[in-house]
A = this chain, B = another copy of it.
Amino acid sequence: LLATAIIDRKRDSCELSRDEIQFMLAGLVDGTVPDYQISAWAMAVLCRGMTQRETADLTDCMLASGNRLPRASDRPRVDKHSTGGLGDKVSLILAPLLACFDLDVPMLSGRGLGITGGTLDKLESYAGFRCDLTEDEINRQLVKIGCVITGTTPNIAPADRKLYALRDVTGTVPSIPLITASIMSKKLSASLDALVLDVKCGSGAFMKTLPEARELAASLVATGERMEVRTMALLTDMSQPLGRMVGNACEANEAVEILSGHCELGSASVRELTLRLCAELLVSLDQFPTREQATTSLSNALSDGRAMDRYEQMISEQGGTFCRRIDLASEHIIVAEHCGWVQAIDGERIGRAVIALGGGRQKQGDRINPNVGIEMLVRIGEPIAAAQPMMRVFADDTNKLHGAKRYLAAAITISDQAVSMQPLLLEE
Contacts and interface: CB of A to CB of B under 8 A. Distances in A.
A400 interface: no
Given A40-B170, A40-B172, 19 more contacts: A4-B171, A7-B171, A8-B171, A11-B46, A11-B172, A34-B36, A36-B36, A36-B166, A36-B169, A37-B39, A37-B169, A39-B40, A39-B43, A40-B42, A41-B171, A43-B47, A44-B47, A44-B171, A47-B47
Is chain A's interface secondary structure helix, strand, loop, or mixed overall?
helix
A35 B39 CA distance: 9
A38 B35 CA distance: 11
13 contacts: A7-B170, A11-B46, A11-B171, A34-B35, A34-B36, A35-B35, A35-B36, A36-B170, A39-B40, A40-B171, A43-B44, A44-B171, A47-B47
Nearest to A167: B40
A18 interface: no
Nearest to A44: B43
Contact of A36 (B7, B38, B47): B38
A7 B39 CA distance: 11
A28 B334 CA distance: 46
A11 B169 contact: no
A4 B174 CA distance: 13
A320 to B, nearest CB: 35
Contacts of A169: 3-4, 36-37
A39 B4 CA distance: 12
Interface in A145-188: 166, 169-172
A168 to B, nearest CB: 8
A130 interface: no
Max chain B C-beta neighbours (<10 A), residue from A7, A10, A11: A11
A53 interface: no
A48 interface: yes
A221 B39 CA distance: 32
A12 to B, nearest CB: 9
Contact of A170 (B4, B47, B166, B171): B4
Nearest to A7: B171
A50 to B, nearest CB: 14
B37 A40 contact: no
A101 to B, nearest CB: 43
A4 B166 CA distance: 11
B166 A11 contact: no
Contacts of A40: 39-40, 42-43, 170-172
Contacts of A7: 170-171
